[in-house]
Amino acid sequence: MKAEKLKGHLDLLLLSVLARGPGHGYEVITRLRDSSEGAFELPEGTVYPALHRLDEAGLLASTWAVVNGRRRRVYQVTTAGQEALAQQADQWRTFSGSMSRVIGGAAGLVARPAAALAGDPA
């Protein structure tokens, strides 16, 4: 999926990934890639401004820790972040459901002429 399409939903994705447990930036990217089965490929650096923004907004809290011999900033979702995640997830489900219904109906209409061209003599 194109990175530009993902950027609009990055906050929701990051909150979702970190809701499973605290993690540093590289871990967030790894979880995002793994849980999307490789569909979400975006420049990895993109997550940092978003993580910092969420941190400043109080939706994430960060601490420094040494992990695997390297000093890393570990993020976790705050209570405010959990509330924001629930709210954004609801909005996304509503949006996604509506999109699916619209696209689903249109996809049927688009498929019919193609089938007609393929073999319908009428």
Partner 1 sequence: MSGRGEVDVSPGSGPDDPIEEYLDRLLVTLNGSPRQVRHTMAEVEAHLRDAVAEEIASGRPEAQAEAAAVQRIGPVHEVTGVTPAFARPTAALGRRVALAGGLVGGIGLVTVGISGLIAWLLVAVKGDRFLAAPWGPGSYTAADCARWMAADPGHGCIAAMLNDHVGDILSRGAAAGVLGVLVLAGYLVLRRRWRDRGTMTALPAGSAEALGAFLALLATLGAAATAVDLESAQRGAGAGQPFSLAAAAFLATVFFTLRLLRAARRAPS
Q: Is the distance from CB of 105 to CB of 112 less than 8 angstroms?
A: no
Burial of 103 (0-12, 13-18, 19+ CB in 10 A): exposed
Q: List the one residue from 4, 38, 71, 122 that touches partner 1 (CB under 8 A).
A: 71
Q: Smallest distance from the beta carbon of 67 to partner 1, in angstroms?
A: 5
Residues in binding contact with partner 1, number by CB under 8 A: 24
Q: Which stretch in 48-56, 77-85, 91-99, 106-114 sits in contact with partner 1 by CB under 8 A? A: 48-56
Run of H or E residues at 33: helix 25-35
Binding site for partner 1 (CB under 8 A): 23-27, 29-30, 42-46, 48-50, 52-53, 67-73
